[in-house]
Chains A and B, each alone.
Chain A
Amino acid sequence: MKRFIVRRIISGILTVLVVFTLNFALVKSAPGDPITSLMGKETDDPVLREALMEKWGLDQPVPVQYFNYLKNALTGDLGTSIIYNRPVNDMIGERMMATILLGLTSLIIAFVLGTLLGIFCARRDGSILDNTLSTISYATDAMPSFWLGLMLIILFATKLDIFPSQGMYNVRAGYTGLQYVLDVLYHLALPCITLVLITMSGYFRITKSSILQVTNEDFITTMRATGMSERKIFNKYIFRNAILPTVTMLGISIAFLVTGVSLIEIVFSWPGIGSMTLTAINQRDYPTLMGVYLVMNVSVVVVMIITDVLYAILDPRIRYD
């Protein structure tokens, strides 16, 4: 097992390096540059362009830029945003908690609700409720998240006046302490509901189909023949086998937390990493983009390693070496 873990970590590091290099190449090969964004749309002054290119080291050969960035990244320094002239570490740090709050809260709710409903419907396969929920799950799965978000804003904020339409807190009021926490939760509601509706259907369907599949396995039929109670069969044998794909999906979702909430952050003006990333793409802010990609890259690899190791521990049939 120890050898397995070491091998997974080494391959994880190699993956991070390869993806880092690919990201750098992709970001640099996109047409345009951050200096155009920095200068604004109202000037084409070549002297200003040259001075800014030199200031930000963009006049150096691309390999030099790559190794400089790699060297800094290895020491934990993600560089300075060209557009905002601020350390990328600080920018990510300030926004990370907003993304985790929105992403993780909605993920946990979607996972719990989706799984429970999946189990519920699997045990009542073919019922009216099952058919209704399955249809709804296809519908929400097919909806673009930004569209659903806007529809919920129009319905719950504008028409019904139940929730605020955007932002993370009431900017006029300047609440502090518990009032501020409650205000954040109040503003969290709509984006969270949107994300839950979008992501829950995945957990619902995978849980349901997985349970149905295990239920039809021969060993379950054998257990039923032995006279074991349905409750015990389900709790001890069906559920534990069927939950594995759902847990895998949860792991992947956690790894892709940032990308998953990007559009929702834009629609709800939620000040997280996702909206910062989309802005950085539009502005070609290389250091910010590389920083965010690196954080995402490392988090995906770490979660995948943990998932692999957990699998090996939880399922005695899995032996990678």
Chain B
Amino acid sequence: MKAKRFIAMLLSLVMCFALMAGCGGNNTSGNNTGGNNTSGNNTSGNNSGTSDDSSSTGPDSLVVRINGDPKSFNPTLISDDNLYKAAQNMYHRLTCLDASKQVIPDAAESWDVSDDALTITFHLKDGIKWWDGEALDAEDVKYTFDYVKEHPETYFSSSMDIVDSIEIVDPLTVVFHMNTADVSFVARLGWYGTFILPEHVFNNGQSWADNPASTTPMGSGPYKFESYTQGSNITLVANEDYVDGAPKIKKLIFSIIPDDATAMQALLNGEVDWIETVPTAYVDQLLNDDNFRMVLDEYPSPYRIIFNVNADIVSDPAVRQAIALCINREEISEKVYGGIMPPEYSAYPSVVSWCANTTDTYPKQDIEAAKQVLEDAGYTQDENGYYVTGITWDVFEGMQDMANLIIASCKEAGIGIEMILSEYNAWSDKVGQQRNFMMESQGGFMGPDPAALATRFGSGSNSNYAGWSNEEFDRLCAEAAATGDTEKRAELYREAQKLIVEELPGINVVGYASYTVMTGNLKDMPCDGVGQWSWSDCSHAYYE
């Protein structure tokens, strides 16, 4: 009898905890503007309450995996990978990038660049409205980018240094007057930190960081914000008044799943419909599963080695040349990345074919040639067979397998390299902040325009970790940025890449690629909209 009473008490206790969690479980980040309680709009065909998530799969919801909580709901304040997908469904930018990472129109249906590239005129699409019914117009564009320019704590602020002023011609025409010719600016407007915000909501004297609209968004996109539960999910609902028509899938849920393995199991169980970046270990299984669709997604973000050209030992071009000759890209691609990440021989990612230099490329592996280069430069072998020792290579977690293979090849050529493996923050502090390294490896976007070459290798640029400086390279990049002639730009950037390959401040190893997986009957997903809609726009998607 006592035992029964005890068990009953225990179950009651658990129930009480669950009830308490239930009361606190649906916290949103603030007052909910969406206001639509969709609890009645249950997508499940089974309302038993304890049904498995997979039983709820239906045409009315799309669950997207994200890795963590969003930093805020103001995507123009800071860059935020965890919000980026949701932001592309809630807001507009002037331009955006499609799944192939090419620039396409967004709020601006077209733009004109003057011959001297100092005036860029954007023509806004008519009919775009904020969720509260106000029109998105040139005032909003001017307000957003004026604020960004004036506030250095916003992500895009420094990029606005080349903009002198923004002029409103009429409600649908806005002109950016530039002080420096840089046609890549249009592409950069389609990336991080450039979403147009509603002036009538934000312009109230508060800073963006303190404005409630940064936690409870007011957007203009195809999906409206409904709720956010910390650590759990962001839920958006279809904007029935959207300018291009209401999205077919009525509920877009971003489910926060930090662990990759768990996310994959959630996909297999039907709890998640779309995952970007499938871990290599799952690729074969999913490619052979008819329930899922796999799409290879290539980015202009090569994994690369950067040499600190001012550091001991690697300041010698012969050493850099010898190391370049030791890299077996095919072996790395196959053994480390399962053949998914392709070997990269061009200095600018070959996936951007219009400007990648595929003629003047990094050398293929040739250990004997590497030894010869060192001998020609006056190095001699010590008793252990090394020409050079004492090189250190700073690597963050995730890059160590690639580094290990290259180090083993270098050892064959008599080059001694020691790997220093760190967690990302420690690596960033030592390499990014202190610039205290000889060699380092990094990834990172080299788009949305080849102008990123100047950012990564231009004299004085903060992202030029190599500390390399070449006047001819700087001149070529400046000239390319100032012309709208694509052919001429491509030619100039190809010349610039040739200089990188010759002097080797950095060496690309593999191109970045990963599989995106989605439920097999999902059509018109973001990856299907090349040239038409943005990289993460789910408003066209539907279940077949």
Contact = CB atoms under 8 A, between A and B. Distances in A.
B71 A85 contact: yes
- Report the contact-size class of chain B (Cβ under 8 Å from the partner): 35 or more
A182 B27 CA distance: 18
Contact of A112 (B10, B18, B214, B271): B10
A158 to B, nearest CB: 5
A182 B53 CA distance: 13
Contacts of B232: 167-169, 171, 269, 271
A166 B262 contact: yes
A105 B192 contact: no
Contacts of A100: 17, 20-21
B78 A42 contact: no
- Report the contact-size class of chain A (Cβ under 8 Å from the partner): 35 or more
A31 interface: yes
15 contacts: A31-B430, A32-B426, A44-B432, A48-B154, A86-B29, A94-B27, A98-B231, A100-B20, A173-B44, A173-B53, A174-B38, A185-B15, A266-B259, A282-B424, A282-B425
B49 A269 contact: no
A207 interface: no
B448 to A, nearest CB: 11
Contacts of A175: 39, 42, 49
B71 A31 contact: no
Given A38-B71, A51-B152, A182 B50 contact: yes
A31 B231 contact: no
A167 B271 contact: yes
A181 B18 contact: yes
Contact of B18 (A37, A40, A173, A184): A184
A269 B258 contact: yes
A232 interface: no
Interface in B27-56: 27, 29, 38-39, 41-44, 47, 49-54, 56
Contacts of B13: 105, 108
Nearest to A149: B262
Contacts of B255: 167, 171, 269
B157 interface: yes
A46 B153 CA distance: 11
Interface string B196-236: 00000000000001000011000000000000011111010
Interface stretch (A222-230, A272-280, A292-300, A302-310): A272-280
B253 interface: yes
B95 interface: no
B445 interface: yes
A109 B11 CA distance: 10
Contact of B153 (A51, A165, A182): A51
Contacts of A86: 29, 215
A205 interface: no
A50 interface: yes
A47 to B, nearest CB: 5
B221 to A, nearest CB: 20
A183 B428 CA distance: 42
A275 B49 CA distance: 26
Nearest to B49: A179
B462 A46 contact: yes
Contact of B462 (A44, A93, A95, A171): A44
A78 B233 CA distance: 25
B98 interface: no
Contacts of A167: 53, 232, 255, 257, 266, 271
Given A36-B425, A166-B262, A176 B39 contact: yes
